[in-house]
Amino acid sequence: MEITLKEVAQILSAEIDGDENCVISGLAGIDRAGPGDITFVANPKYTQYIATTKASAIVCASDTVAEGKNLLKVENPYLAYAKALRFLNPAPPETGTIDPNAVIADDVRMGDNVTVYPFAYIGEGCRLGDNVTVYPHCFIGKNVSLGDGTVVHPNVTIGDRCKIGKRVIIHAGSVIGSDGFGFARDGAAYYKIPQLGIVQIDDDVEIGAGNTIDRAAMERTWIKRGTKTDNLVHIAHNVIIGEDCCVVAQTGISGSTKIGDRVIMGGQSATVGHIAIGNDVKVAARAGVSADVPEGQIVSGAPHMPHMQWLRMTRTLPKLPQMNRTLGQLTKRIEALENELRQHQEKCST
Amino acid sequence: MEITLKEVAQILSAEIDGDENCVISGLAGIDRAGPGDITFVANPKYTQYIATTKASAIVCASDTVAEGKNLLKVENPYLAYAKALRFLNPAPPETGTIDPNAVIADDVRMGDNVTVYPFAYIGEGCRLGDNVTVYPHCFIGKNVSLGDGTVVHPNVTIGDRCKIGKRVIIHAGSVIGSDGFGFARDGAAYYKIPQLGIVQIDDDVEIGAGNTIDRAAMERTWIKRGTKTDNLVHIAHNVIIGEDCCVVAQTGISGSTKIGDRVIMGGQSATVGHIAIGNDVKVAARAGVSADVPEGQIVSGAPHMPHMQWLRMTRTLPKLPQMNRTLGQLTKRIEALENELRQHQEKCST
Amino acid sequence: MEITLKEVAQILSAEIDGDENCVISGLAGIDRAGPGDITFVANPKYTQYIATTKASAIVCASDTVAEGKNLLKVENPYLAYAKALRFLNPAPPETGTIDPNAVIADDVRMGDNVTVYPFAYIGEGCRLGDNVTVYPHCFIGKNVSLGDGTVVHPNVTIGDRCKIGKRVIIHAGSVIGSDGFGFARDGAAYYKIPQLGIVQIDDDVEIGAGNTIDRAAMERTWIKRGTKTDNLVHIAHNVIIGEDCCVVAQTGISGSTKIGDRVIMGGQSATVGHIAIGNDVKVAARAGVSADVPEGQIVSGAPHMPHMQWLRMTRTLPKLPQMNRTLGQLTKRIEALENELRQHQEKCST
């Protein structure tokens, strides 16, 4: 693809400082870029390469100065990099056809340009919006809705009645709408509580590979607009996750926990059930959140504590054996002092 | 569905205190229930709503007193709630048909009323009991047995020769009978040890979504009657899990470990291999069990310790940096005391 | 299968001490073996059974002495056991046929003796080597290569352009080549960075069940020759894992981390991103590696520390509450001493 710098500037909402007619045909790292390439400086430590790069144009922060270079000045060069990368490497278009080797119930309603691959199974009463893609070996149960532009990767299971929004991406092997883990004790045995609710996933959510998201006991397990989950994440029944959250790999959210907007859950982190985590909370990797967390806090450890406290604690931890030995020594020295002082006092009083 | 209170009482083995001819048509929470609904008080904090609820009948503990209300008195109201929920919301019946888009070996033997969905694969020599359901994209290897009433959800893999009991539920994406992780060192390289055993899952077990349960090296990996696993649980080769256990999400059980009956493994917990965990043990969430645990204990932490000890320990942990500073200060005060006492003694002796 | 001891000796590169014409028909544990069986002593605690076993032959260490027994002396009896086990229990041969219920793009090139099961999907431009097996419900995207002898178990997803070497085993439900978890912030929202790289898996790698291995943002996520992963392992984009590593179940490796050769990652362990772990490092179960680890180290804990330090630390941890109480007592005793000494000094000076 060939495109002028002027056109790139429009896509990136960038200000041009240089030759707007310069032709761009590729994208490369600043130390590898050649003529025709556009490159990026998102990290200040690469600023040094601006003078020597062979790239035809450089996307950079607004305050960058570089004589004789074609600059595209933007507020957020990393975001501009992502946008240009997507523009210059568009995903190959889907076929927009329904493969005859798929099994689709008669009453399924579909929008325009839907692609269904071989061996997909789509149950009764489903509704697929425009530009939906369903890959091989997906199971879409009864009365499921998939919004416009949603992509369901191979080997995904979506249970009955789940509601999936627009432009949602569900990666391979994930399970949406399995039964919540709910049982009543019947003597020693467990009696299964029917899980009658659904999973609702709102627009622009991306679900990683190998996730398991359980349906609610009643009502819904709900993942709100723009949230992204990494791989092997477990989300239990009746959990609510707010907008624009980021849930890193192998995290587990226990039942009925409510997570606010813009929360980051680090890798292998977890929460107990029935708690509330406020907006903009950051939960560190491997943290185990054991109680409500107010808005904006950064927490670490299991049970969790403020991150700064955890940092100090973990720095002290390796000293623990030495501390214990010191305690023993101090105890002896104090005993010795007590004895000596007593003897001295006795001696003085005689 | 409409049903009289008398009929409900029979299903729940409840004692009626009120009008046995009252008609029930639904189930709702005590603060939302209306005429025709049955409701429940399983938690004492909801007892206050008994006087004001509009429900037609209330399932409650045997000692409940409420003038002018229709009560169904039971020993375990939460269990009665689960039973009524299941009775009033029966799962839609399966078709009882074998879809022509499934691939089933010629010699597979099936009981009555078996449902096999499109794209299921069932290998040679398999035996399916009555009322078995196999969802799309399930792989059932050779010589597998599935007992009466067992349900295998979509995208499940069950390897050759595994034995699955009656009324077992296996949720989507789980893998039963993958090879155990067994290798012999051959210099720096690993030489694969063939995994010749099976997985045996007994009656009334429920396996969550995305589980991986490895076949034994020899003999069997064995999950006994009534045990329930949550999502993304890993069970290694030759593990034995007793009856009526509860294994919460993302737990990992290492090879050859034996777990007793009625054991609870908390979320993200783990055990090392080749240990024995006694009956009725409770392993807290995130605990790492590193040695045998005797019957009835509650353990937490990694390496594990008695839960009460762990609670005290974790309450002290955040004080660790302060403790370290205090130790330094005490050391100085003791030095000062030692010096001062020595000087004083010298002064006295002169 | 019947085979002479001489033939067994050739397979195992063993030295015979006894009757080389003795006929072997099975393999059993030393305490259960009978006539016709070959048995093994890999662990010194079983040496005591050599005199009394009824086995026809015993594989043992080179320095073993046993009058009147047929011995096969080898350097590594456990490895010999694994080899004999595999020889005496060969995997049943695959059909070497392409099932008509598979969907395979027209231009896929295949070697000799390839087996493709029903409901496998193989996209355009794929190349399968000799003796490859693809089980039901596998999705193989476009332009994927699978080397000679590779086996892909059921319900596996392999994304476009991934390169899988020879004799690779991928267990059921694993996902190779899902998108890396990469986003640029766009205000509060996340903007998806296209993941344009691939996953490359080299010869003799074994991937456990339910793994998720993300494709690189650019270039490749790379798992080198001979490495084995257990179940439910997560490997993020641009990770490089060296040769002959062993990654135990439920481990997570964060993006761009480089792991050397012969590294062992214990169960449920993890690393942060962008670090380097040297050759021959051992990471204990549940460890969280938070920074580079030099060659040959053994590390535990989260954040990680040298294993011996961690052992001492965890032995002290349960004493922490007592240490805190002791600190309080010592503080009081020191105060008391200080007061008493001051009073004594005052008394002396009067």
* DSSP string computed for C205-226: -EE-TT-EEEPPSSSEEEE-TT
Does residue C27 register a pLDDT over 90? no
User: pLDDT of A239-274, one tens digit each?
Assistant: 999 999 999 999 999 999 999 999 999 999 999 999
What is the C-alpha to C-alpha distance for residues B82 and A118, in angstroms, rounded to an integer?
A: 40
According to the model, what pLDDT value does residue C136 have? 98
Number of other residues whose CB lies within 10 A of the CB of residue B93: 9
Task: Catalytic residue, from B153, B171, B234, B237: name it.
Answer: B237
Checking if the pLDDT of C100 tops 80, the result is yes
The yes-or-no answer on residue A237 being catalytic is yes
Please check whether residue C81 touches A, CB under 8 A: no
| Res C32: pLDDT | 87
**C337–chain B Cβ distance below 8 A for any pair:** yes
Q: Is the pLDDT assigned to residue A46 strictly greater than 90?
A: no
Angle, helices C77-88/C5-12, rounded to nearest 10 degrees: 120
For range C186-202, the mean pLDDT: 96
pLDDT tens for each residue of A110-130: 999 999 999 999 999 999 999
Record the tokens describing residue B32, joined without a space. 């939302």
User: A343 at the C interface (CB within 8 A)?
Assistant: no
When pLDDT is cut at 50, 70 and 90, the band that residue A90 belongs to is confident
pLDDT at C317: 96
- C344 Cβ under 8 Å from any chain B Cβ: yes
Looking at beta carbons, which residues of chain A come within 8 Å of B137?
Answer: 119, 121, 137, 139, 155
Q: What is the pLDDT of residue A140?
A: 98
Average pLDDT over residues B65-73: 92
Place C59 in a pLDDT band, splitting at 50, 70 and 90.
Answer: very high
pLDDT, residue C28, reads 85
Residue B348, amino acid: C
What pLDDT, in 10s, does the model give residues A276-308?
999 999 999 999 999 999 999 999 999 999 999
Confidence of residue A87 (pLDDT cuts 50, 70, 90): confident
Chains meeting B at 3+ CB pairs closer than 8 A? A, C
CA distance B255 to B204: 23
How far is it, in rounded angstroms, from Cα A39 to Cα A53? 9
Contacts of B103 in chain C (CB under 8 A): 99, 101, 118-119, 136
Give the list of residues 6+ apart from residue B297 with CB closer than 8 angstroms, or none: B278, B281, B282, B306
pLDDT band at C31 (very low <50, low <70, confident <90, very high): confident
Q: What are phi and psi of B86, to 5 degrees?
A: -70, -35
CA distance A333 to chain B (A): 7
Mutate to test the interface with C, among B160, B212, B350 (most CBs of C within 10 A): B212
Spatial contact of A189 and A208, defined as CB atoms under 8 Å apart: no
Q: Does position B257 have pLDDT exceeding 90, yes or no? A: yes
Instruction: Give me the residues of B, 200-229, that contact C with CB < 8 A.
Output: 210, 212, 214
* pLDDT tens figures, A333-350: 999 999 999 999 888 877
Contact check, Cβ <8 Å, A212/B231? yes
* Mean pLDDT rounded to a whole number for chain C: 95
Chain B hits for A181, Cβ within 8 Å: 208, 228, 230-231, 248-249
In this complex, do C183 and A210 lie within 8 Å of one another by their Cβ atoms?
A: no
The pLDDT tens digits for C240-279 are 999 999 999 999 999 999 999 999 999 999 999 999 999 9
**Helix, strand or coil, per DSSP, at residue A10:** helix
Which chain A residues are Cβ-neighbours of C234 within 8 angstroms? 210, 230-232, 249-250
Q: Are A176 and A159 in contact (CB under 8 A)?
A: yes
User: A165 versus B44: which is more confidently predicted?
Assistant: A165
**In this model, does residue A324 exceed pLDDT 90?**
yes
- pLDDT, one tens digit per residue, over B119-166 is 999 999 999 999 999 999 999 999 999 999 999 999 999 999 999 999
Within the 227-286 window of chain C, which residues sit less than 8 Å (CB to CB) from chain B? Answer: 228, 230-232, 243-244, 246, 248-250, 261-262, 267-268, 285-286
On the question of pLDDT at A37 being above 80, the answer is: yes
C-beta of residue A280 within 8 angstroms of C-beta of residue A295: yes
Q: CA C117 to CA C123: how far, in whole Å? A: 15
pLDDT computed for residue C74 by the predictor: 95
Task: Specify the pTM.
Answer: 0.96
Which of chain B's residues have a Cβ under 8 Å away from the Cβ of C154?
Answer: 121, 139, 157
User: What average pLDDT does this structure show over C286-296?
Assistant: 98
Distance from CA of C78 to the nearest CA of A (A): 35
What pLDDT score was predicted for residue A92? 87
Q: What percent of chain C has pLDDT over 90?
A: 87
Overall average pLDDT of the A191-204 stretch: 97
Whole-number Å distance between alpha carbons of A132 and A142: 17
pLDDT classification of C204: cutoffs 50, 70, 90: very high
Query: Using CB atoms, which chains have 3+ pairs under 8 A with C?
Result: A, B
Q: Rounded to an integer, what is the distance from CA C19 to the centroid of its chain?
A: 39
Question: What average pLDDT score do residues C129-146 get?
Answer: 98
Interchain contact C76–A (C-beta under 8 A): no
Q: What is the pLDDT of residues B175-227, one digit of tens each?
A: 999 999 999 999 999 999 999 999 999 999 999 999 999 999 989 999 999 99
> A5: pLDDT confidence band, cut at 50, 70 and 90?
very high
Nearest-CA residue of chain C relative to A319?
C313
Residue from C153, C237, C274, C344 carrying the catalytic annotation:
C237
C178 in contact with A at a CB cutoff of 8 Å?
yes
Q: What is the 3-state secondary structure (H, E, C) of B5-60?
A: HHHHHHHHCCEEECCCCCEECEECCCCCCCCCEEEECCCHHHHHHCCCCCCCEEEE
Instruction: Specify the DSSP class assigned to residue A91.
Output: P
The DSSP code for C94 is P
